[in-house]
Structure 1
Amino acid sequence: MATSTTRRPSWRTVTPVLAVAAFGLVACSNSQESSDVAGTTPPVWTSSPAPAGHEGGHGSTPGGREGDDHGASADGLKVELKDGSGADVGTATIVSGGNHLVVTVEAQGLTPGFHGLHFHQNGTCEGDFASAGGHLQVGPADAHPSSGDLTSLQVIEDGTAKLVTWTDKVTLEQIAGKALIVHSGADNFGNIPPRYTHEGGTGPDAATLSTGDAGSRVACGVVG
């Protein structure tokens, strides 16, 4: 009988091959563990780190609730604005932004154009809103613009408006219980150059300085 030249593989050669194959299967699995060791799978980075001193996920605003503007505090005041017939025409929120207030106004159903926007002395909104008194003044009575004066509200053609503005002339405590008024016209903030004359002098007269010539009061709400 002829001697066979075929030999079965020795366990000494098979074992290393199987070990290499097994390592390959493990390396390709989806349950691999991250490692910092050179030549292995690097750590998986899943998101950006939070800024120093802040915690939370994406969309959070430093110093405030998610979505708040300018780092404003979550604690604040709200105003429900109504027109002379008692219909809702908007809302305002006032929150602390550190050394200033952040005032956000959203309105609808108003005449397109610029409208004076002020905190007034009294927290009442009766009749034509004259009960709210004049512009809120904190400090010297002859200071202009008044401390209750805010950026004018611009209403677009569909009658809606949104304004986010800042003021450091008043505090939450000073405006709580006061009225927020929207006027029919734009506020000139007494910006009347001396070349314009009026009876008894030049530049803005007393009425302009106290009202900004912003016209009648079309919406009012008590800050609370």
Structure 2
Amino acid sequence: MRPARLAALAILPLAASLAACVSVTANDDSWTPQRAAVGDVGEAALVNPAGQTVGRAVVTQGPTGVLIRIEADGLTPGWHGTHIHATGQCAAPFTSAGGHINHGEPKAPHGLLNPGGPDDGDLPNVFADAQGRVRAEVFTPHARIAREGPGQWLWDADGSALVIHAAMDDHVSQPIGGAGDRVVCGVIAAG
């Protein structure tokens, strides 16, 4: 093989790995790369409908989405649907948090297992043990706390909230997978 061909082959893996860390956004009809602020952190104090703090969620920015660590107490043992909601308000019964983040058009249907979904606020279920404790980490590529990058920006003008529901999300049925009432809510804010 010629030396020029070897050099080109050596550059391809490097270019592919750099592309995974860069997103592209439109800016005045020209395309410019924007790097996500990997490692940025946000937090949400989780409250129940009585306004008592029952835990916290830590949101960490990654290169392709956010990792959310959830620690909560006082839930009914079993599986619980979790979603990111579009408004950073948690007035009981937490309907003030609005619907799921899903600012794209057209709106995707709910459900991680829905052939037409998921919508941007869908997250995996979390499990509360026999004492009602949740200790979980979930990841979504559909959200971000960095100002630029892929996914819905969680710190927009009206903020966002993490909501835990009373029951398990089946990840298919509309509008929220049968997850039931909103029993825990936390406004996602800068850490």
TM over 0.5: yes
Distance in 2, matches of 1:87 and 1:222, equals 14
Corresponding residue for 1:175?
154
- Show CA shifts across 1:9-43 (max 9, x none): xxxxxxxxxxxxxxxxxxxxxxxxxxxxxxxxxxx
Distance in 2, matches of 1:186 and 1:124, equals 23
Q: Are the counterparts in 2 of residues 81 and 88 from structure 1 also a CA contact under 8 Å?
A: yes
Q: Could you list the runs of 5+ residues in structure 2 that have no partner in the other structure?
A: 1-36, 110-116, 148-152
Q: Are the counterparts in 2 of residues 100 and 167 from structure 1 also a CA contact under 8 Å?
A: yes
Distance in 1, matches of 2:62 and 2:144, equals 10
Which protein is bigger by CA-based radius of gyration?
A: 1
Distance in 2, matches of 1:73 and 1:99, equals 9
Name which of 161, 166, 171 aligns with 1:189.
171
Corresponding residue for 2:44?
79
| Amino acid paired to 1:166 | F
- The answer to which structure has the higher strand fraction is 2
Q: Could you list the runs of 5+ residues in structure 1 that have no partner in the other structure?
A: 1-71, 191-207
Corresponding residue for 1:159?
132
Distance in 2, matches of 1:114 and 1:167, equals 19
Q: Within 5 Å, which residues of 2 pair with 1:28-47?
A: none
| Amino acid paired to 1:141 | K
Aligned-pair identity (%): 35
Is 1:142 paired with 2:108?
A: yes
Name which of 50, 73, 80 aligns with 1:115.
80
Corresponding residue for 1:22?
none
Secondary structure of 1:210 counterpart: coil
Structure 1 residue ranges (4+ consecutive) displaced by more than 6 angstroms after TM superposition: none
Q: Are the counterparts in 2 of residues 134 and 210 from structure 1 also a CA contact under 8 Å?
A: no
Corresponding residue for 1:218?
183
Q: Looking at both structures, which has the greater relative contact order when contacts are Cα pairs under 8 Å and sequence separation is at least 6?
A: 2
Evaluate the alpha carbon distance shift between residue 142 and residue 73 of structure 1 in structure 2; reply closer, same or farther with a 3 A threshold. closer
Q: Are the counterparts in 2 of residues 135 and 210 from structure 1 also a CA contact under 8 Å?
A: no
Q: Are the counterparts in 2 of residues 117 and 152 from structure 1 also a CA contact under 8 Å?
A: yes
Distance in 1, matches of 2:139 and 2:103, equals 16
Secondary structure of 1:127 counterpart: coil
| Amino acid paired to 1:186 | M
- Distance apart, 1:210 and its partner CA: 2.0
TM-score (norm 1): 0.57
- Distance apart, 1:73 and its partner CA: 4.3
Corresponding residue for 2:16?
none
- Show CA shifts across 1:162-191 (max 9, x none): 11121111221511220111100001111x
Q: Does 150-159 or 138-147 show the bigger shift?
A: 138-147
- Distance apart, 1:138 and its partner CA: 3.5
TM-score (norm 2): 0.67
Is 1:132 paired with 2:97?
A: yes
